Structure 1
């Protein structure tokens, strides 16, 4: 999708492109409750979140709104700030990211529902409204190629810690910059498992490259992956069990700029049915269409919404 740069009077410079899809209500959006609304959707810059952001935009469009697409913003903070400040109206966010990275809590809440409730309640002060979460849990994991694992026989992260102590040179790991510095990422994992990976053995790179490096190269024994990623199966990787349950729950839920939600409370009725259908397995399938088959995230989102009956072609 082409990214346009549009100057809006009184709003400064905003990135985005209008959604021009000819879609109409299916099981959601009947009566077009957003007729006359102008809404902006956003997302982070990885496939799953882009697909989820596109879903919100398409549902809004079918419900009658004019929609500006500002998905694919770099990192987590850009999209977060857009929601807080009103530069965007809605996106899918992850409960663990909000609780730890945005709200500053060191210890996650193990129960997924209690985690969501705590985030919902605390984030109100920031002008962010959390709608009910999905069971889609995009949490962190480490993976190894089945070929390499035939030699090392790793099953859990505790096995990795044991290998790192016995043979520090063997444990090389590819990670994203963000994971390398987050409390709920590599530093916290090393502390929780009592493992110490030499800095020279940690290689930072874009997420998409990690899967290739782990599956087809010997430059990284292990790689940071996400549990909903479709490339895990496609690239023949073994995901290691987080046997100490270190990684938080990262359930995806719609978040809405509170002033927008106060004006259009119908948004909850539009997005709740969609969230109820989003599972980890569904995410793996949709992500594989983008990251393995090379399909466009917008079309993947649209095809799924139509197949589920949420919207229809106009």
Structure 2
């Protein structure tokens, strides 16, 4: 009872409570609905759902807020927190209860680990154990999507060059190995240069990729440049970005497993999950349905078609028969 009263107090004056970390909502709204059978397994629960500000983060937050409210919880929607740090800090402070994270982010950004773990399950287990031990945060089993780095080509270029994997790209003539990347990926210690080395075509190395074959540009322009195959055949993308499907890009397989998995994972404060274990089952139902293709579609509805994330979240839940 005391925790519920405390959470209610937080919900009533949350903007003031977390003003120090800049946590505010993108809209603070989600569709009001219920479970198909009318059950309310979270009746009496008061939950604060937050998210980061990029489209996918907001969508996942809206899906979570909508579904848990349908299950009977009183949900405060603080999705769309500016930057990554504010939502994370709010959860660490106990001012937010549920946040979707990525295993790669937890491993590299939060715990400064440098070991590359290519197996998604192993990486999740390692992050889960550290987060539970150090922060009393429960990383629930990950969803079936992986929002990691990748390289893509236009469908026509992929067909013309006969490439399906990054190893195929490495076997192309030097003149065809042209790349578009953003500045951040170009400069990362786990970014462009090390990736080329992994595939045996080091940057400015003999038989590798000369710097003249690499164009650095804003991340958003990479997608259209790749679709146009000008000035590059291959562009860096994020695997769940809606522009992949919209621009008919072909994502190449990272067949040497260079890129770290970034599996989407719902993270819940341990005290909240202990009090309301039903949260794990409910979010497990959602996680099983989230795939790369689906996230591309949902992200595209927001970023390309201009739909509101709360509407997209509600309509998807309804289409899956999870809410009415």
Which TM-score applies when normalising by structure 2?
A: 0.79
| Equivalent residues in 2 for 1:68-147, closer than 5 Å | 68-71=77-80, 73-74=82-83, 76-124=84-132, 125-147=134-156
Match of 1:226 among 218, 221, 238: 238
Aligned twin of 1:30:
39
CA distance in 2, matches of 1:175, 1:37: 41
Indicate the SS of the match to 1:14. coil
CA distance in 2, matches of 1:150, 1:33: 51
Distance 1:10 1:192, change over 3 A: closer
CA distance in 2, matches of 1:258, 1:172: 44
Matched, 1:311 2:323: yes
CA distance in 1, matches of 2:33, 2:171: 54
Distance 1:72 1:188, change over 3 A: farther
Match of 1:279 among 281, 287, 291: 291
Distance 1:91 1:7, change over 3 A: closer
CA distance in 2, matches of 1:202, 1:287: 26
Match of 1:257 among 269, 273, 284: 269
* Structure showing greater Rg: 2
Cα-Cα RMSD: 3.1
Matched, 1:8 2:21: no
Gaps in structure 2 of 5+ consecutive residues:
1-12, 204-208
Runs (4 or more) in structure 1 with deviation over 6 Å come to: none
8 Å CA contact 1:8–1:14 kept in 2: the answer is: no
8 Å CA contact 2:147–2:239 kept in 1: the answer is: yes
Residues 86-109 of structure 1 deviation map (CA, whole Å, 9 limit, x = unaligned): 343212222222223322332333
The count of residues paired between Structure 1 and Structure 2 equals: 301
Deviates more, 1:77-86 or 1:98-107: 77-86
8 Å CA contact 1:19–1:57 kept in 2: the answer is: no
Aligned twin of 1:189:
195
CA distance in 1, matches of 2:57, 2:247: 21
Gaps in structure 1 of 5+ consecutive residues:
none
Distance 1:132 1:22, change over 3 A: same
